[in-house]
């Protein structure tokens, strides 16, 4: 019985925000020197990078097998689809559990040009960038046919990249326009929309199945998280109180958005000045305030990189003194603030039981068990 009481007391010692989702934290680092998580699919599989102190390597993590090295040094896993395939920007390559690593080819017009692969959808369409025959970086897609295919809908520019995509084949990214970068959404078949930020430049990071886009606008060194929809256009999502910076890095089918806010230098970094956040129903929450188990004193969640359609979240934090990849699982029956109002009555009942045990000479421990 005392174990249940201690659990209640520990939970009630944690500040609880009314009507907010609560989470349990899982450290997925596997005890490595450091680990960074960038994406999560609907099965809860996570892609990222880690180091065992000797080599840095790309990984895929799942709840059954833990962290699986993708057998490549000095690489990272950045995107993951619902089949568990992982994009490795350097190479670039796709990792598959059945076939291992598959190299993605450059543009046919510049077969030796360098490329990067950032994301993959469930139809094996991959988004990224390659150098063209003029050594300009252009946005490309791979569809399994071999060579990268240039996305021609984008206005002429000496820099462009595709960053992410959904299962409807909509691709997002950015291109240089004058002194700034504008975002874009395209289906590769002539339907092209620019995303222009009033902050100066727009850096789209993720798109959901509804075509809603999140990212950050940037003027000098002040990133501001945004949500863009076809209906409402560009919307600034704001920052945590006391901060002037924020970044939105992923959005799920329910419209939940995750990212970071705080004293951050660049979006997505694991700086201790950043706080992992979630925007839900128009409200911005610090995820550190919503974790009710697994987060100790001195630990912090610095950035949330990914969220799946079940609401599981992954990202980077400082846990146990190390830079660590984490998983947040939503708690199905969250404790509400008024639940802790009953704690004094629990204490009184516990005290009364102790008195009963002592009065009749029973062993304290045996009585309480």
DSSP string, 163-180: EEE-TT--EEEEEEETTE
The predicted structure's pLDDT at residue 58 = 95
The predicted structure's pLDDT at residue 337 = 54
Report the distance separating Cα 313 and Cα 290, nearest Å: 12
Looking at domain 17-334, which CATH architecture does it have? 7 Propeller (2.130)
The predicted structure's pLDDT at residue 351 = 43
The predicted structure's pLDDT at residue 15 = 57
Q: Is the distance from CB of 288 to CB of 273 less than 8 angstroms? A: no
Q: Is the distance from CB of 319 to CB of 27 less than 8 angstroms? A: yes
Contacts of 284 (CB under 8 A, 6+ apart): 237, 238, 239, 240, 261, 277, 278
Task: Show me where the domains of the chain are located.
Answer: 17-334
Report the distance separating Cα 314 and Cα 293, nearest Å: 16
Could you tell me how many residues make up the chain?
369
Q: Is the distance from CB of 28 to CB of 46 less than 8 angstroms? A: yes
- H/E run at residue 350: helix 343-359
Report the distance separating Cα 152 and Cα 186, nearest Å: 10
Q: 10-residue block means of pLDDT along the chain (369 residues)?
A: 43 62 96 95 98 93 95 88 96 94 94 96 96 95 87 91 96 94 87 90 96 88 90 95 93 97 75 88 96 94 97 96 96 65 41 44 42
Report the distance separating Cα 202 and Cα 205, nearest Å: 10
The predicted structure's pLDDT at residue 2 = 44
């Amino acid at each position: 019985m005392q174990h249940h009481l201690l659990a209640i007391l520990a939970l009630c010692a944690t500040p609880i925000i009314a009507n907010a989702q609560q989470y349990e934290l899982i450290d997925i680092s596997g005890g490595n020197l450091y680990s960074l998580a960038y994406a999560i699919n609907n099965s809860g599989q996570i892609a990222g990078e880690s180091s065992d102190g000797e080599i840095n390597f790309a990984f895929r993590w799942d709840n059954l097998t833990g962290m699986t090295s993708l057998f490549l040094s000095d690489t990272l896993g950045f995107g993951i689809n619902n089949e568990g395939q992982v994009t490795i920007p350097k190479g670039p390559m796709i990792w598959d559990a059945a076939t291992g690593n598959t190299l993605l080819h450059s543009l046919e017009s510049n077969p030796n040009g360098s490329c990067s692969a950032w994301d993959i959808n469930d139809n094996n369409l991959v988004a990224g960038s390659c150098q063209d025959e003029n050594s300009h970086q252009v946005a490309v897609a791979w569809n399994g046919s071999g060579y990268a295919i240039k996305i021609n809908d984008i206005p002429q520019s000496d820099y462009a990249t595709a960053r992410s995509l959904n299962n409807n084949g909509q691709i997002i990214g950015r291109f240089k326009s004058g002194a700034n970068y504008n975002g874009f959404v395209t289906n590769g078949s002539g339907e092209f929309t620019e995303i222009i930020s009033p902050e100066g430049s727009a850096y789209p990071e993720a798109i959901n199945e509804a075509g809603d886009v999140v990212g950050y606008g940037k003027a000098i060194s002040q990133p501001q998280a945004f949500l863009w929809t076809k209906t409402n256009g560009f919307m600034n999502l704001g920052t945590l109180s006391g901060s002037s910076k924020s970044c939105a890095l992923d959005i799920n089918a329910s419209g939940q958005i995750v990212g970071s806010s705080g004293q951050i230098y660049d979006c997505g970094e694991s700086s201790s000045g950043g706080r992992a956040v979630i925007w839900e129903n128009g409200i911005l929450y610090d995820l550190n305030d919503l974790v009710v188990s697994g987060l100790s004193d001195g630990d912090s969640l610095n950035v949330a990189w990914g969220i799946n359609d079940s609401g599981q979240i992954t990202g980077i934090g400082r846990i146990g003194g190390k830079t660590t990849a984490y998983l947040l699982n939503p708690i199905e029956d969250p404790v509400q603030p008024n639940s802790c109002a009953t704690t004094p009555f629990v204490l009184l009942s516990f005290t009364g039981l102790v008195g009963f045990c002592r009065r009749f000479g029973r062993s304290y421990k045996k009585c309480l068990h």
